[in-house]
Structure 1
Amino acid sequence: MFRFLRSLVLPEAACEEANNSSRYENLFKKLDLNEDGRVDIAELHAGLKALGIPLGKDAEEKIFKTGDSNKDGQLDFEEFMQYLKDHEKKMKLAFKSLDKNNDGKIEASEIVQSLKILGINISEQQAEKILKSIDADGTMSVDWNEWRDHFLFNPATDIEEIIRYWKHSTVLDIGDSLTIPDEFTEEEKKSGQWWRQLLSGGVAGAVSRTGTAPLDRLKVMMQVHSSKSNKMNISSGLKQMVKEGGVRSLWRGNGVNVIKIAPETAIKFWAYEQYKKIFANEDGKIGTIERFVSGSLAGATAQTSIYPMEVLKTRLAVGKTGQYSGMFDCAKKIFKREGLKAFYKGYVPNILGIIPYAGIDLAVYEALKTAWLDHYASDSANPGVFVLLGCGTVSSTCGQLASYPLALIRTRMQAQALLEGAPQLNMVGLFQRIIANEGILGLYRGIGPNFMKVLPAVSISYVVYEKMKQNLGLA
């Protein structure tokens, strides 16, 4: 995005002897559109856009927050120059951290090596695409001047922030357990952006789950009741639910499903940060395997904490009209009839399901993203939100496919007490009974509506998430 800055704005930047003050002054004049000696955020936005350097609103605000020392909402030349000087120092440190052989230029092999240290594995071909997006003179190496000009107005402060788009972001919620919690930079934590992003994701998840609740309840009903003798399909299942409890019954259990988003997200985020500290090396860095283990443990910790709500959701979804007056009535009746241990029925297959889901989800996501970058990326090493969204949707679906039998066993164990005359089997016994009576396909009852809800869930979640980001000043 910044590759034309040198030719458009800083023709003398290629010379090491160029005077910094005149260089900054030349750029300041191009941004000071009304020539009053000050640049406000509107002028910065318009000026950079005119120069072919469009920035996001959050990046422009971050520049002003850092550079506007007297807090008057404008940058005079002294503030502007001081900001660029301080920012160049940070970019110099980032440049040196990549320049492993200290020859004054960054090559593809050095990018591969540096990102590997940060726990991100990329190919030489992908590293060359990163170089291509920065390289202004076509030498396939980046010197300090090229690096500085490319990142001149990028408010990132270190190399970790610069390559953040390579991580597996899981802020969008499609109603199933997500694996690796989202990560936030120190700047985002200090500025409060982290809680705004989590809030945006939480609201998006609540709306998404509510929009696809009928399919989610249908999945649970088919997992519990569908068999060779009771061939419940999508059409008959929906008709049966409406006939039994009316249209409102399609959303039975959704309240608990929405309420548990907040505690689950908070616990997962907190636990992930703690586990990362445990697995980090002496330099505070964490690799891919350690990040995966930390994420899986954080997911298990969050699931353990909110698991009773999972049981309540299943019981409400499977229960008949009038059986429970609400979540608290359901909890009271379960405790009175079955005791405290009933709130953790199906816990073992639920925890075991995290491993195949997490491993396949992450592996497929990275494979798809890498394949896209290798074959379709041209000028940028950033795949873009829609490509990442597509990769995430497919990888999540593959993860669900692998872990679905365990999810079905979990749901049946949670609902066994409601089925009259049904023996109370453990995980192994229930697995054997399903195989004997229904065959392998019996382990995939309800997977149809489960897959049907993925696309609308992702779409709703993405739209609401973007709207929430705009309302909270993140976009």
Structure 2
Amino acid sequence: MASGLDSVEEILRDDSGLLQTAKDLGAGTVGGIAQVLVGQPFDIVKVRMQTASVGTYTGMGDCARRILVQEGPLAFYKGTLTPLLGIGVCVSIQFAALQSVKRSFAERNLRAGRGGKGGEELGAGQLFVAGAIAGLANGVVSGPVEHIRIRLQTQPAAAPLYTGPWGAIRTIYGSHGLAGIFKGQVPTFLREGVGYGAYFWAYETLMQREMKRRGCARAEVPALWAVGFGAAAGYALWFTIYPFDVLKSRIQTDGFSGPERKYTGMVDCARKLWAAEGVKGFTRGLGPTLLRSPFANGATFIAFELAYRALS
């Protein structure tokens, strides 16, 4: 009869069990932290441009300059604590879900006699579905995390409404309950499902192609390639779902009730934005997003790949 110690050792040796999940979560957390630290200054410019009244800023440079002059350099990291903690969790969930679904598809491919060695060469549809599931799993956490971050990023510097992330959570929950915390969840799920389907499809397709070209295992592909693949994946994400992101930001900075509330929901927001600004309304803030994307997503994937290899 095996001892308790033997049982623990068996679990730790089993890469399909708890250890594998721990690796996915740990490496995903490292990737998420890298993403926030690199991308946050660009993100605040994007959010300010998405949510400001028409004519507030002449462009990305004007928005960045005003933040710097009026609020100081640290303002570019306003609301960073929430995403630093929350996005780390989000990205760890994202990668854990992705890796789990990929393994499930690989097992199915192996039984069907396709997908190369171990069934790990996944088709485009499989990669998109794996990414979409990862995005939806992530969306449960990313929705409220981004809502709190956006409230902090857009509150007036002279008379702030919230003292910080925990103050914002207490205030919003106290007045509006869980529905207030999860405001904007519908466009969040649409963004995460479609966007991360495209995101991970792009990244994994490029990684699989490079592995095949070199005739090597994933761990043997130079980690720096992850930067380029991550940059491409970021562009696939944003070009696919940017209008949903604008709607999400609009709804998450809208009033909760009464005359302060402009939109009854996502469809109403889209209709009013189209009527007021046309196509331009759905592309506001795209400049800083595209500028941020290769840096933030390249950092995410190289951090994930290096952490995953170290843990393995």
Residue in structure 2 matched with residue 298 of structure 1 by the alignment:
134
Residue of structure 2 equivalent to 1:413: 251
The match for 2:274 among 415, 418, 435 is 435
The superposition leaves residues 229-284 of structure 1 with CA deviations (integer Å, 9 ceiling, x where unpaired) of: 33342222123323443322221111111111343244445555776788764949
**How much has 1:396 moved relative to structure 2?**
2.3
Q: 1:439: Cα distance to partner?
A: 1.5
Distance of 1:236 and 1:357 partners within structure 2: 29
Task: Give the TM-score of the pair, scaled to structure 2.
Answer: 0.73
The separation in 2 between residues aligned to 1:258 and 1:467, in whole angstroms, is: 19
Structure 1 residues 208-287: aligned runs within 5 Å: 208-227=35-54, 229-268=55-94, 271=97, 281=108, 283=111
The number of residues matched between the two structures is 285
Q: Deviations over 1:286-325 (max 9, x none)?
A: 8644454244223212312452222111111111233211
Please state how far the C-alpha of 1:371 moved relative to its aligned partner. Answer: 7.7
Distance between the aligned counterparts of 1:194 and 1:422, measured in 2? 42
Q: Which amino acid aligns with 1:223?
A: Q
Identity %: 21
Change in CA separation of 1:462 and 1:218 when aligned onto 2, cut-off 3 Å: same
**Structure 1 segment 358-377 matched on structure 2, within 5 A:** 358-365=196-203, 377=213
2:198 touches 2:236 (CA, 8 Å); kept in 1?
yes
Mapped to 2, the partners of 1:189 and 1:371 lie a distance apart of: 25
Q: 1:270 to 1:342 in 2, by over 3 A?
A: same
Match in the other structure for 2:187 = 349
Q: Does 1:396 align with 2:234?
A: yes
**How big is each residue's C-alpha offset from its partner over 1:72-122, in whole Å with a ceiling of 9 and x where there is no partner?**
xxxxxxxxxxxxxxxxxxxxxxxxxxxxxxxxxxxxxxxxxxxxxxxxxxx
Cα distance, 1:442 vs structure 2: 1.3
Following superposition, the deviation at residue 218 of structure 1 comes to: 0.9
Match of 2:296 among 441, 452, 457: 457
Distance 2:246 2:139 in 1: 16
CA contact (8 A) 1:200 1:468 kept: yes
Q: Are 1:330 and 2:168 counterparts? A: yes
Q: Counterpart of 1:439 in 2: which secondary structure?
A: helix
Q: Which runs of 5+ in 2 are unaligned?
A: 1-12, 113-118
Equivalent residues of 1:226, 1:445 under 8 A apart: no
1:314 corresponding residue in structure 2 = 150
Q: Which amino acid aligns with 1:301?
A: A
CA contact (8 A) 1:256 1:327 kept: yes
Query: Shift in Å at residue 431 of structure 1?
Result: 0.8
Q: Residues of 1 paired with 2:134 and 2:311: CA distance?
A: 29
Q: CA RMSD in A?
A: 3.9
Q: Deviations over 1:418-462 (max 9, x none)?
A: 898552331111111111211112101111111111233245446
Task: Assess, with a 3 A threshold, how the Cα gap between structure 1 residues 431 and 234 changes in structure 2: closer, same or farther.
Answer: same
Unpaired stretches in structure 1, ≥5 consecutive residues: 1-185
Name the amino acid aligned to 2:172.
Answer: I
How far apart, CA to CA, are the structure 2 residues paired with 1:274 and 1:466? Answer: 16
User: Using a 3 Å threshold, how does the CA distance of structure 1 residues 188 and 368 change in structure 2: closer, same or farther?
Assistant: closer
Taking CA–CA contacts closer than 8 Å with sequence separation of 6 or more, which of the two structures ends up with the larger relative contact order?
A: 2
- Deviation of 1:210 after TM superposition, in Å, equals 2.0
Q: Is the 8 A contact 1:222 1:232 kept in 2?
A: no
Structure number with larger C-alpha Rg: 1
Instruction: State the partner residue of 2:33.
Output: 206
Distance (Å, rounded) in 2 between the aligned partners of 1:463 and 1:291:
19
Preserved contact between residue 44 and residue 76 of structure 2 (Cα < 8 Å)? yes
